[in-house]
Amino acid sequence: MVSHRRQEAKAAVALLRGALTPSDAALDGKRSALLGCVERLIRLIEQETIALRGREAIDFDEFNARKAHALLEFSRAWRAFGAPASAPSVESALTRLRARLAENAELLNDRLRAMREIAGIMIYTIEMAESDGTYTMRVKPNR
């Protein structure tokens, strides 16, 4: 009975070895590396999105440096992977990444619009404080 199980195990290993060629194994490793990069990008974008939603103080220099590094890592993994036509796991991960990026971009745009509006109000206030109104045109804040 033990020898029969051992023979079955050897047969299964041989079958697996025949089913997975070295090129398939390399492609699987590249796919795993690419998926890992995408997951790290998703987590990073989610961290920034949570901070934006929570209206927390954000170190944009740090986030930008981390995103630049993650993008470099992703582009290298993408080139190595070669983007084969049929990779549903990769397509699914990229779809999730696109959704997170769209949400993040919307929140960043909201923050930028608010900053521009605040800057416009500040400029208007400073101009009005420095002027008696005789020689300056009345400037309205950008909205």
Report whether pLDDT(76) > 60: yes
pTM (2 d.p.): 0.68
- Residue range of the domain that includes 58: 23-130
Confidence category of residue 131, pLDDT binned at 50, 70, 90: confident
* Residue 108: burial class (beta carbons within 10 Å; 0-12, 13-18, 19+): middle
On whether residue 4 sits in a domain, the answer given is no
119 domain-assigned:
yes
pLDDT grade for 21, boundaries at 50, 70 and 90 = very low
**Is 91 within a domain?**
yes
Domain membership flag for residue 13:
no
Residue 82 lies in a domain: yes
DSSP-assigned letter for residue 55: T
Instruction: Say if residue 15's pLDDT is above 50.
Output: no
Name the domain count of the chain.
Answer: 1
pLDDT at 22: 46
Average pLDDT over residues 15-24: 48
Closest listed residue to residue 88, CA positions, set 31, 13, 29: 31
Rounded average pLDDT over 126-131: 83
Q: Is the pLDDT of residue 36 over 50?
A: yes
Span 78-96, mean pLDDT?
81
Kindly state the tokens that stand for 89: 């796991």
Does residue 6 form part of some domain?
A: no
Which is higher by pLDDT, 22 or 108?
108
Domain annotation covers residue 116: yes
- Residue 19: what pLDDT? 47
Residue 70 falls within a domain, yes or no? yes
Contact 74, 33 (CB under 8 A): no
Average pLDDT, integer, range 84-111? 89
